[in-house]
Structure 1
């Protein structure tokens, strides 16, 4: 009898983990709480932060609650804000890049291009965050020690100008949804590729906007499908909605079960639009390396999903 009860409890727990976590919704713009995390001068977009209350009374930080103010900033490959603009990875003095500790002894190097903002965790340890939350576009290198298996966990944020509405002034429209994208290659101390971004990663979205109609969002189990939602830019989107989901506190931990999340979707360089981004094109020999061609990954909606968590394991 005890065994049956325990088995039933385990089955219920497993089933509940697969049940849909319903979204909660906000409407309209957020209130600005920080006018900008960094000031990159003319030509850059303002990385402001805001707060907004959903229908159930929960207060959400938009576009995301980050560790930007307290965490180490990732070293630069290409960063116009800091004046570090390498033309190729051969110019990088890797020994000058800080060696960060994720609790192990084997050395690794992660090369990253993120649209827009990332936070990198290895084996549950926050190693570094993106030094440029919005634009201009930049790329980074993170050098670290860890023991295998490696749990690589990344928080990705597609930043926004219209806080709480997942949009920016673009293509002639004041409220135009932007897109995201994350590409990375991780190498060992001998410059051998041990991981690239591809469809073996898992991805889950936690903030989707703008929504012209809440009913366009379909949630089934762990699938949060906004493919039927309108992505058209408009002159006035202040009445639009956004969907939010609470982030599990242990999402970056090795023990977290990411198998319940959907597989990451992959996107071409052309779809992400990086052919005119020097922070990417200067390092194609890393990101598009022969035999280790990393792909851009995201959730199933590159445009409307603005806060996406990514995970993979490297044996």
Structure 2
């Protein structure tokens, strides 16, 4: 029988332990490189799904559920997701239907929609002002203020896809401020079920055309608007998002699933007022109809003479990331 070489066994044991430590250290490093410790931005960071407060704030046949929840961030702060909204606030007027499969109000053109209104919908910002009509398509939800006064909110928070009219009297110049929300099925994660993927990050998009009583174009959404982000999700790797001044960048980031992260920034208290200083905000990014995917939606295509008028073509606007940025505020002053 050959004698046991204990020195060799000891050497093998040491090598095995060192190998295990290196593997563990590598795994820990990988986790740290993508986890909360790796985040260098100004947002509060939450991870995983939110606490659902309301499973669905609006019922629509063939529409997605629209939950509201609260996400708790690593710093202890709590955030309403996908956004704090006025959907159930009776003092905030609903916009009129342009095309709405949920209510069955499906006009084939803008003139039909206007003819159905009796004037009670008009919001008097300034009673001696001109009558302005805003034609709006939002993916998914919007709340519009004119000079700080609530003028109209979307009557469908998620789907089916709808479009709206908002009418108001105002003198120029006037300031338009809109909270835009890309709703989520998976509360706190910025995702929805789509094409077999239970955590598909949906996209946003907002387009509007403002017309005077004589049919002239007063304003359209384009690159001259301002846009700032307040909720971004999902983010798989927190070392990816970056900030450059007021820019909150995530367009190169990816998502993975139910344990992804979300970024939350505080919305300024007076963001909707005419005198709010948005000079430091980034310019809105513009998107084509193909990118947003509206060419098969009659809530848009029935009104392309408005939205896609060659003389004053409106662009879809959002932040720089139309997929992961879920709460975006846009502003513009009409001269």
Partner in structure 2 of residue 120 of structure 1:
144
1:37 aligned partner:
57
Listed one character per residue, the Cα deviations across residues 184-235 of structure 1 (whole Å, up to 9, x for unaligned) are 100111111010000000000000000001111101210000022015xx5x
Q: Hey, what does 2:124 align to over in structure 1?
A: 101
**Secondary structure at 1:270 match in 2:** helix
Deviation at 1:263, TM superposition (A): 0.4
SS of the counterpart of 1:292? coil
Q: What does residue range 137-286 of structure 1 map to in structure 2 within 5 Å?
A: 137-231=161-255, 237-286=257-306
Change (3 A) 1:52 1:107: same
Q: Distance in 1 between matches of 2:179 and 2:250?
A: 20
Q: What are structure 1's unaligned runs of at least 5 residues?
A: 1-19
CA-to-aligned-CA distance 1:160-197 (integer Å, 9 cap, x gap): 00100000001211001000000010011111101000
Local SS of the residue matching 2:279: helix
Deviation at 1:102, TM superposition (A): 1.6
Deviations 1:255-282 (A, max 9, x none): 1111101100000000000011110000
Aligned-residue offset at 1:242: 0.2
Offset of residue 130 of structure 1:
0.3
Unaligned runs of 5+ in 2: 1-39
| Distance (Å, rounded) in 2 between the aligned partners of 1:102 and 1:30 | 37
The answer for the alignment partner of 1:79 in structure 2 is 100
The match for 1:17 is none
Aligned residues, how many? 291
Per the alignment, residue 47 of structure 1 pairs with 66
The corresponding residue for 1:13 is none
2:51 counterpart of 1:27: no
- 1:311 is matched with which residue? 331
The 1:222/1:208 distance shift into structure 2, 3 A limit, reads same
In 2, the alpha carbon distance for the partners of 1:253 and 1:163 equals 29
Deviations 1:75-107 (A, max 9, x none): 000001111001111312344251111234221
- Within the candidate set 46, 66, 88, 2:109 is matched to 88
Structure of higher CA gyration radius: 2
Task: Name the TM-score, length of structure 2 as normaliser.
Answer: 0.85
Q: Pairwise CA RMSD of aligned residues? A: 1.3
Q: Is the 8 A contact 1:68 1:129 kept in 2?
A: yes
